[in-house]
Structure 1
Amino acid sequence: MTARVTGPQRFVLALVCAVAVSTIYAIQPVLETAGADLGLPSESLGWLVAAGQIGYCAGLVLLVPLGDLLDRRRLIIGHLLLTAAGAGITAAAPKGVIAVVGLAVAGLFAVVVQVTVAYIAAVSPAGERGRNIGAVTSGVVIGILGVRVLAGVLGDTLGWRVVYVVLALLCAVVALAARLSLRVDARQAGDRYTRVLTSMVKLAVTDRLFLSRGLIAFFLFASFGTLWSGLTLPLSAQPWGLGTTEIGLFGLAGLAGALGAARAGRWADAGHAQAISGWSLTLLAASWLLIAQTEPTLWLLIAGIGLLDFAVQAVHVSNQHLLTTAHPDRASSVIGAYMAFYSLGSALGAISTTWAYATWGWPASSLLGALYALAGLVVWALSRAFARHGADLSHVATTAKECA
């Protein structure tokens, strides 16, 4: 029988996710300051943001599948230390190219987040898997949104390099906590590394559940990226003219919403993962009606941010619960492949929101975010319809055999 996961272990694993993912997103609030210090022209600043994402995408394909072959506890510790090294390189970088390398290294090993999700799924009893995944993945959203506040404050007071010094130290401390608190995740000899990589491609082509959940994640995080990659634009413009620290505080609204969705894992354990996905995607689309309102007050925008992050986290937890339950023996490769959809969706949201804002303003960005949410809802509805149709055909075939 699988031993229960303790509260302190869940806390440490949530910290792993929060600290690791922070190294990717910390550059956004201090981008202009860091670029000026590193001597980068404005047209090259995008490389500082892209470096972590490129490293992350590579890690999803190359590193996450190792969790199906090796002790995930050791991988978590090792990846955290290497993420710390990447953050340290960034903090000490004398030139832009060195900073880009450091950010890419940090992003590459920040996929420890997915190894952590696979670890908690593997060591959790079946009846607690959704609850534990929900608790741990809440750390991801806390990291993405919370680091905006931290980086904004530190960047304005102590300098952007201090942000990465702090993150490097946190990665090392959390690696030690993982070493002391997590139990060994023994791994039996199994597939070869190349076979695991091949299985990821086959999964995307042949598994209907994986494909539908991956497409939902793609549109889900395209909507998420539309908000968080574009929010600085209307808030820094007139009539508000907010600064880095003030804009970073909007991450607190997202944190409140994401933490409110932590219970989604319990609902998934109770068999409601499909229903949670449907009403959460509907809520996600509706949240953009509030997010579009930036005048004459920002309170509607703040409420919309909370609703959006609640919905995103609820769907994300439900997706991972369904996939790790369906594929318990290869949770790492399944989560890695699934998160590739997340990464691509986030990139699409980031690119399209800046284009829409530059062309038609924040209402256009908000419409785009809502359309992405509606596309995810359509995928969910179609997958449900196909599943019911398949079940009906199976019933007819069984009945025909019995009659024969």
Structure 2
Amino acid sequence: MYGSAGVHSNPSGMLLSGGSFGRKSQALWASAGQLVSMGQAGLGLVIMLLSWLFFYEFTEATGLMLGAAMLAAGGVGWVGGRARSANLSNLHLLATLLALLLSFNFIGQVVREVHVDCGLAELFLQGRMLEERVTALRQTEAMHTVYSRLNEMEDMLTLVQEGAAKTLELKGEQERLRHTDAAYIGAKLDLLRRHAQSALDNILSNPNLNETVVRNLNEADKDYLRKRLDTADRVVARIQKHHEEDGQDITFEEYNELLSALTDASVFADKHGDGDLVQARAELPNMAGALKRRRDDEYHHLLPGSAHKDLERINARRARSRAEWERQLTQILDAQARAGAGGADMGTQLAEHCVRESRGHAITMAAGLLAVAVQLASAYVALSLSMRLPLKGD
């Protein structure tokens, strides 16, 4: 109903009609989609090159597939942004999601290749080199070392036995703390339930509170009885629900609310000074700690009692003994190596693919993580653009 004169009369020219704003928004998102798509395609080429240079077999194939998927998705996204086609944008989004899945798979495969497979190969070579050096030891030194180690084994076995006993003791203390918390929480909830049930029974079983008496009460007394009944019934119902849910613990806030309701002087004047409830209020910090430990269920991380201190002491003794043994053995091996009994450089014996993968690990991981970020950005832009473009036939 607005005339064109009203629009042309705007001196600033800053206001856009709905159609102009929509076209401008489409253009902005289309440009963003083209830029992201070019980056996506370029990064895909980089990943294909890195996979071809540094990896073999399955990891190389995964990287090539990822690069090809990113290249295809980038091409479709660029064409879709240029043509402002909702169908191509949707296809771009689908291809990007596929490339995102391949990105995660590629990162996991690179990590496994470098840190697991090549780590095992390096460990195997270290073991073989150690065997070669030990074989080259003079017989007297080898026998002396073995004899010394055998003398230490009895002490080490004793430490292992003591450590196992202390570990079991620590686990027992953790389980006792778990059961103590459960019993403490249950006792406090039963205390609230008993007091609430007592309040209900005092009203419902009171022979002096029949229908005629209640009808003749003034509004203040009726309101008092109503609040008392509602509060007590709410407390009983909540605790009963706690038991019906197989011990699903209530939160500390709920417990504090129920306790405050039962000790409200305006509703339960007879229980405001009750010794059990007063003590329960004084023990609120203990209840908060028990509820938190039970909710987090991380008792295996807690260190109750003194068993953990004994266990730390035993582990420290074992570590010192092992460090001393390794120091002595290293000295002997180094002496033999300097005398000419050393093995070849381990790096020259590693498999070629491990050497190449180790060299390209950092840049490939960076490219993989960047690919994840680019896929997410590309998916967001493609989704935003497709929502602003009409489908064919609309």
TM-score between the two structures when normalised by the length of structure 1: 0.23
| Greater length-normalized contact order (CA 8 Å, ≥ 6 residues apart) | 2
